[in-house]
Amino acid sequence: MNHRSFAFFVAAAGFAVANLAHAEVLLVDRVKQERGMNAPSRGMSMAQVESRYGAPTAKEDPRGGDTKLHPVINRWVYPEYTVYFERDRVISSVMNRIDLRPNLSPKWPKIAAPSGRAAKATP
């Protein structure tokens, strides 16, 4: 390995370590925020959540439920957090990202189809 390659390798490794440390700090800060947020706790029923926190901004379509091993998962979106339910019980409450879109759905880019026609990307 020549001097130039070695210098590049050292610089790249240092940059990677710095970014990793920065990412860990952000994750730690986010976990601390989530622990301190006033959100539904694990085990609460849907009725308890709606009674205590009000109606959600959106109730997303349920997923799963096709087999006993895949129970129905519901997602209720509130302005500051999203609540996940397994059947009718809370399994998790997660802080929303700041850039959450008003329509609560990601914007998928259009991808050119092989024939040249535009096709929508699928998640």
Q: What is the per-residue pLDDT across 27-72, written as a single tens digit (0 to 9) for each?
A: 566 565 666 678 899 999 999 999 999 999 999 999 999 988 899 9
Question: Domain range for residue 22?
Answer: 1-36
Phi first, then psi: give them for residue 59, nearest 5 degrees. -115, 105
Count of domains observed in the chain = 2
Judge if 16 and 44 occupy the same domain: no
The DSSP code for 70 is B
d(C-alpha 110, C-alpha 123), whole Å: 12
Which of the two residues, 108 and 37, has the higher pLDDT score? 37
d(C-alpha 75, C-alpha 83), whole Å: 6
**Model pLDDT, residue 35:** 64
pTM of the model: 0.56
Judge if 89 and 113 occupy the same domain: yes
Judge if 43 and 32 occupy the same domain: no
Judge if 30 and 62 occupy the same domain: no
DSSP string across 87-117: TTEEEEEEEPPTT--TTSS--PPEEE-TTS-
Across 11-22, average pLDDT: 55
